[in-house]
A and B are shown apart, each in its own frame.
Chain A
Amino acid sequence: MIKKTNLAVLLALLFAASILISGCASGQDAAGKDTPGEEPYKIGAVLDISGKASSLGMPERDTLLMLADQLNASGGINGHPVDLIILDNKSDETEAVLAVKTLIEKDVLAVLGCSSSGPSMAMIDTVQKEKVPMISLAAASSIVEPVKDRQWVFKTAQSDIVTVNKIIGYLKEQGITKVAFLYMNNAYGDGGKKAFAAAARENGIEVVAEEKFDASDKDMTPQLTRVKASPAQAAVVWAIPPSASILTRNFRDIGLSIPLIHSHGVGNQKFIDLAQDAADGVILPIGKLTVADQIPDSDPQKKVLEGYINDYSKKYNAPPNSFGGYAWDAFNLLVSAIEKAGPDRAAIRDQLEKTRGFIGVSGVFNMSPQDHNGLDEDSMVLVQIQDGKWKLLE
């Protein structure tokens, strides 16, 4: 008997725990349902809200919730309120596929997400087969290339190649010809590695050390030790926090003094918070949002940037970051496509592909049948971290 009661207690405990866990991981529905009048348009989003990439997914979720509220308050799309359904993929490929299938069963017009490259890649097969437009918020170029196999997929984050060209430009300017390349062992890091290797070869820059690490690694000293042993004149890193922050701390700790260049994956305050003093001196290409107050008024994006910053800061008492910006662009690109195309998946896809001169947070988008990202190098600026702040370079 005693054993039975104990088993019951244990089961109750486990049950309680599983409710707690699933309770915070389940989806959120934003607005739209009580609005009278026209039938709501359903838009789905799959984001990395928990897990490794949560520092990307959370500002994206907050941005989408804010935009959906604003849109519905001002009358929705052609009078139709928007019903935004956000699901968490827990930064996991399998969960992302399950989530996108759930959304398609709910008849969403299009899917936004995921936050990171791996889960985004995992969803492509499903949306291609089901013919549902998808706008990814992740960086890897392979999400939208080759376009002939990715006709339903678009993305708003600058492709690796845009960032790579910006970095290569800087290296050439500084006369650096030998670099070490360190990258995360996932789709984001891999995409960066391939794009960088190709561009470096074309521009006469030699990669003298190439090292990878896992997103969950706690210590990159072994990899950096090999970089230190190499003749590299600069280190280029393709990673996101927390591992990018740990690497930066290790980099300073073992006394490496060559320039440290990161990708736009570290373009959020979290990177600096975690790396602390070690972040000072890091150079990275970044969307203009982070340094919106430092870019000239003549920049076409200035007004959009300031608007987004004001709205977001007012609602969440914290400044937005580039990841939230990718979500802003994806949501508004989609809304303007639905406005013109109506509630038809194929028409929305065609309309997205025709986007020209759309001024967003991440840049000015010019999509085409060959380019489903639509951003070029002008969408980025180089910044250096000084005393924990982003400073526009030059």
Chain B
Amino acid sequence: MHIADQLLQLLFTGLTLGSIYSLIALALVTTFNITGILNLAQGEFVALGALLAVSMYAAGMPMAAAFTVSVLLVAMLGGFLERFAIHTARGASGLTLIIITIGLSISLRGLALLIWGTETYSLPAFSKGGPLFIGGAAVNPQSLWIFGLTAITLAGLYAFFELTYWGKAVKASVINRAAARLVGINPHTVSFLAFTASGALGAAAGIFIAPITMTTYDMGFMLGLKGFVAAVIGGLSNVGGAVLGGILLGILESYSAGLISSGLKDAIAIIILLAVLLIRPEGIIGAIRERKI
């Protein structure tokens, strides 16, 4: 393998990792924009979605059905948690709400541990067949599914916010909650929808990555953390920035592991987080300070 092929291989690996981080960052940023809450239980939605799908697939359901049911269930869970834990505390400060999501994350992880135990589970790849070879580097077909999901999610979010009535209503309540209320938009419904959608997105991401990363009850923590770093790189409120932040992080991790040392991989994420927060708290990509969808 020549150095060029090696660099290309690492690039594909980084893109796959990066797309995973992007998906989680997207859900984080969207919820943050809409509700002002950083949902630190986002990683748990990813783990639950994957584990539910694994169980249903093992029970004999076809993959497509297991995917749909799992996404619906986790979406409902997201909505339920918003009503049960966030809505009831709506008068509390933003910090309190974030701490509530930490509590939810710990509870969900405990629940997953009770149901699925500590074992690792795996899903088969969505499409059969070996890797594709692009210019001397191998690409796992599952990576293409993950790229696809990221692209569709990004396009879907864009279409929703720019082209639909509901999307505009959400935007309105982000820009000015009180004014939106005056024209008849209910911010509580908007917050409910945001959590439902991030549950669905998290579960979908979990199922898409399960064939590559495998699933355990505690997989959500590290993924949630990396997603958060990706969102911070992108400026925390910038949807496009979150995607770029995720991909940048994935590629940096892959190159530092492949070219320097694999011990450096997880350190990279934290080093970047610190550097961004210290030097450019508004994010590397989005220099715009106000919330922008």
Q: Name A's B-contacting residues (CB within 8 A).
A: 2-3, 6-7, 9-10, 13-14, 16-18, 20-21, 24, 49-51, 54-55, 58, 185, 211-214, 216-219, 221-223, 225-226, 228-229, 241-242, 245-246, 252-255, 270, 273-274, 276
Q: For A24, give its contact among B1, B113, B130, B131 (CB under 8 Å).
A: B113
Q: Flag if B118 contacts A212 (CB, 8 Å).
A: no
**Which among B103, B222, B254 is the interface contact of A13 at CB below 8 angstroms?**
B103
| B189: A residues at CB distance < 8 A | none
Known: A13-B107, A219-B16, A254-B131. A2 touches B114 (CB 8 A): no
Give B contacts to A, CB under 8 Å: 1-3, 5-6, 9-10, 13, 16-17, 85, 88-89, 91-92, 96, 99-100, 103-104, 106-107, 110-111, 113-114, 117-120, 122, 124, 130-131, 133, 137-138, 140, 212-214, 216, 222, 254, 257-258, 262-263, 265-266
Q: Is the CB of A255 within 8 A of B138?
A: yes
State in angstroms the CA–CA spacing of A270 and B122 once bound together.
Answer: 10
Q: Tell which of A20, A221, A229, A254 touches B111, judged by Cβ atoms closer than 8 Å.
A: A20
Interface of A is mostly: helix
Q: Is the CB of B1 within 8 A of A229?
A: yes
The answer to whether B114 and A228 touch across the interface, beta carbons within 8 angstroms, is: no
Which of B13, B92, B118, B216 sits near A221, CB closer than 8 Å? Answer: B13
How many residue pairs link A and B with beta carbons under 8 A? The number is 134
A9 to B88, Cβ gap below 8 A?
A: yes
Task: State whether A3 touches B92 (Cβ < 8 A).
Answer: yes
Asked whether, in the complex, the Cβ of A219 is within 8 Å of the Cβ of B110, the reply is no
Picked from B100, B137, B213, the residue with its CB within 8 Å of the CB of A218 is B213
| Chain A residues in 8 Å Cβ range of B214 | 218, 242, 245-246, 274
Nearest to B84 among chain A residues (CB) is A9
Q: A2-B91, A18-B110, A221-B10 are in contact. List 8 more A-B contacts (CB 8 A).
A: A13-B107, A21-B113, A50-B118, A214-B263, A216-B222, A223-B257, A225-B1, A242-B214
For B216, the chain A residues whose CB sits under 8 A away are 242
Given contacts A225-B1, A276-B124, contact A253 B131 (CB under 8 A): yes
Q: How far is the CA of A225 from the CA of B13 in the complex (A)?
A: 10
Closest chain-A Cβ to B209's Cβ sits at a distance in Å of 8
Q: Given the complex of chains A and B, what is the CA–CA distance between A193 and B92 in angstroms?
A: 54
Q: Are the CB atoms of A51 and B118 closer together than 8 Å?
A: yes
Report the bound CA distance from A190 to B13 in whole Å. 26
